[in-house]
Amino acid sequence: MALACALAYFITASFQTHHKMRLELSKEIWSLAQKPPKLDMTALRMIPPQSIAPVAPTNDALSRHRHSIVTRASNAQTHLMDSSGSVSSNLLEQSGIAPENGIGPESEKHLKLSGKSTKKEHKSTCPEGIVAFTYATHAGKDDRFCRMLESSVRAGIHIKVLGWGKNWRGLSQKLYGSRDAISSLSDDCIVMFTDGFDVMFTQNLQQIKKKFLSSGKSLLFSGECGCWPLVTRGREWCNELYPRAPPNSYRFLNSGGWIGMKKQAEYMLNDVVKSAKESNNPEVNDQELVNIAYMKNRLNISIDHYASIFQCLHYVIDMNRPRILPNCQPYKKHMLWDQQNMTWYNTKTKSYPSVFHFNGVGKSFHLDFEKHLAYKVDGFYSKSDADMIYRQKIDLAGNMTPFGDVCPGHLEKTRNGKTYTNSAPKKKRIFPVG
């Protein structure tokens, strides 16, 4: 009888203690709900970014790659929950995994962070500290534009496509479009521009931003082997008149990829647009205008001589005697697939580029570079992966459009393909480039 009484007393006491703890916890939760904790957004953005790393074409490697993606997403949910219990979309971007319901600050699916309203966050013109642009009036006759878009989505880059739907009149449109697009950005914003049809991204914007800031430059253009179009003016333009470059580097400026602080970029674009207007030629070559400004030591332009960010793949084999330009073959002589770090490495400049530009005759190497990336390896494709990519929103001149609407069926068409897919009406046969 005594044992039964003791047991009843113990159960009653435990219930009372548990009830008291629940009341105290409820009060604490209510207090937090009224005053949600503030997160240090600066600290969050300093978290080292990670991109989805390409892996070797083996079943074990593919399994490890998928596991790493799931692990990073799980860690993201564990460490960066906001006050409402929702996952920060910024973290998913930094993990190399784009949010399913929309890309970039334009998406209304961006959730609240640290108690701040979505509306206030939406007003920021440069919420990540860096914005990426390209220019394309249409998707083209083959699938190179869609390949560029897919690589940007896979790398977590929310690229804004300028000029979509307009009539193509000439190269100068890129200058006008870029100038108008960056005018509304804050002065401390970093702006990156790339060509739209022969580009592949392998690292995310936060990695690119870190590289740019470490360069100490305010405006950085990609470097290449070729001297186009100045070589058409005569050999002296490339040999004697063009500024010298450091050894083992890419000497000549290429305008298909550049990055800079907003104020400096805007100053450069205004100047080059003025030159384009004075030429009274919509087909004026933007690369020629920027090269001339660089040769005159104007606009504070620097070149990414060592391919820290931009890697141009155009090659030069000069049969002239004497040669106008030294022979240069980036793909065959400089580039190496680094199996340990699972990305492309430049043995000449000792760098891991972020943006690959298959300019000029370098277009013939686009598919060879792309096929090493994890999402192009046989066995990686899955219906769930495709559905996620197709749902990602692409900013087409301000209209947020699902990738699947811009590039319908692209993932299935290019899964095992070794040639470019023709997306135009079948009036002409499109042969593989190169």
Residue 399: φ, ψ to 5°: -100, 115
- Segment of 16-20, 58-62, 386-390, 421-425 carrying the highest mean pLDDT: 386-390
Residue 49 lies in a domain: no
In CATH, what number is assigned to the domain containing residue 246?
Answer: 3.90.550.10
**C-alpha distances in Å from residue 391, one per residue of 260, 310, 404:** 31, 28, 6
The answer to whether residue 23 sits within a structural domain is no
Q: What is the pTM of this model?
A: 0.69
Cα–Cα distance between 333 and 194 in angstroms, integer? 24
pLDDT of residue 417: 58
What's residue 61's pLDDT? Answer: 41
Identify the pLDDT of residue 12. 53
pLDDT confidence band for 320 (50 / 70 / 90): confident
Residues in the chain, how many?
Answer: 434
- Specify the higher pLDDT residue, 191 or 119: 191
- Residue 281 shares a structural domain with residue 154: yes
- Asked whether 349 and 63 are in contact (CB, 8 A), the reply is no
The pLDDT value given to residue 408? 94
268-302 per-position pLDDT tens digit:
999 999 998 888 887 788 999 999 999 999 899 99
β pairing state of 252-261 and 219-224: antiparallel
26 lies in some domain: no
78, 95, 122 — which closes off a domain? Answer: 122
142-167 pLDDT per residue, tens: 899 999 999 999 999 999 999 999 99
Task: Kindly indicate the confidence band of residue 124, based on its pLDDT and cuts at 50, 70 and 90.
Answer: low
Q: Is the pLDDT assigned to residue 49 strictly greater than 80?
A: no
Q: Do 171 and 301 lie in a common domain?
A: yes
**Is residue 109 pLDDT above 90, yes or no?**
no
Task: Kindly indicate the confidence band of residue 420, based on its pLDDT and cuts at 50, 70 and 90.
Answer: low
Q: Tokens representing 354? A: 């972020």
Task: Identify whether 267 is part of a domain.
Answer: yes
Residues 139 and 284 in one domain: yes
| Rounded Cα distance, 213 and 356, in Å | 20
Residues 105 and 171 in one domain: no
Domain range holding 204? Answer: 128-413
pLDDT of residue 6: 54
Quickly state the pLDDT bin for 172 (edges 50, 70, 90): confident
Residues 307 and 376 in one domain: yes
Higher pLDDT, 141 or 205: 205
| 86 contacts 111 by C-beta, under 8 angstroms | yes
| 3-state SS class at 267 | helix
Mean pLDDT of 74-87: 33
pLDDT of residue 14: 54
> What is residue 16's predicted lDDT score, i.e. its pLDDT?
55
Is residue 120 scored above 80 in pLDDT? Answer: no
Q: Which residues pair with 345 in a beta bridge?
A: 336
d(CA 180, CA 165): 16
pLDDT digits (tens, 9 = 90+) for 175-199: 899 999 999 999 999 999 999 999 9
**Residue 267 confidence (pLDDT) above 60:** yes
Per-residue pLDDT band at 340 (split at 50, 70, 90):
confident
Residues in CB range of 71: below 8 A, 6 or more apart: none
C-alpha separations of 275 from 193, 255, 269, 285, 290 in Å: 20, 15, 10, 11, 10
- Whether residue 69 is contained in a domain is answered as yes
Is pLDDT above 60 for 402? yes
Average predicted confidence (pLDDT) for the chain: 74
In a domain, 74, yes or no: yes
End-to-end CA distance of the chain: 95
Query: Are 118 and 132 within one domain?
Result: no
Is 154 inside a domain boundary? Answer: yes
CA pair distance 203, 316, nearest whole angstrom: 27
Task: Give helix 286-295 / helix 262-279 axis angle, nearest 10°.
Answer: 110
Residue 66: other Cβ atoms inside 10 A: 15
What per-residue string of b and e applies to 365-377 under the rule 16 or more CB within 10 Å gives b? bbbebbebbbbbb
Q: Domain tally for the chain?
A: 2
Clarify whether residues 65 and 151 are in a common domain.
no
CA-to-CA separations, 428 to 140, 351, 417, in angstroms, rounded: 14, 41, 19
**DSSP H or E stretch at residue 219:** strand 219-224
Structure confidence at residue 222 (pLDDT): 97
139 and 199 in a single domain? The answer is yes
Residues 106 and 177 both lie in one domain: no
**Which three-class secondary structure state does DSSP give residue 422?**
strand
- Residue 357 DSSP label: E
In a shared domain, residues 201 and 113: no
Determine the average pLDDT of the residues in 15-44.
Answer: 41
CB–CB of 149/136 below 8 Å?
A: no
Alpha helices in 347-399 (DSSP H): 366-370, 383-391
67 belongs to a structural domain: yes
pLDDT digits (tens, 9 = 90+) for 210-250: 999 999 999 999 999 999 999 899 889 998 899 999 888 89
Beta bridge partners of 193: 133, 258
Contact 333/348 with Cβ under 8 angstroms?
Answer: yes
Give SS3 for 259.
strand
Computed over its alpha carbons, how large is the radius of gyration of the chain?
Answer: 26
Dihedral angle sign, alpha carbons of residues 168, 433, 258, 369? positive
**132 and 152 belong to one structural domain:** yes
- Last residue of some domain: 122, 156, 176? 122
pLDDT band at 15 (very low <50, low <70, confident <90, very high): very low
For the stretch 344-360, pLDDT in tens is 999 999 999 999 999 98
| SS3 assignment, position 2 | helix
DSSP per residue, 102-159:
--STT-TTPPPBTTB-HHHHHH-S-TTSEEEEEE-SS--SBSHHHHHHHHHHHHT--E
Q: Point out the domain boundary residue: 82, 106, 122.
A: 122
Q: Are both 279 and 337 inside the same structural domain?
A: yes
Whether 9 has a pLDDT exceeding 50, the answer reads yes
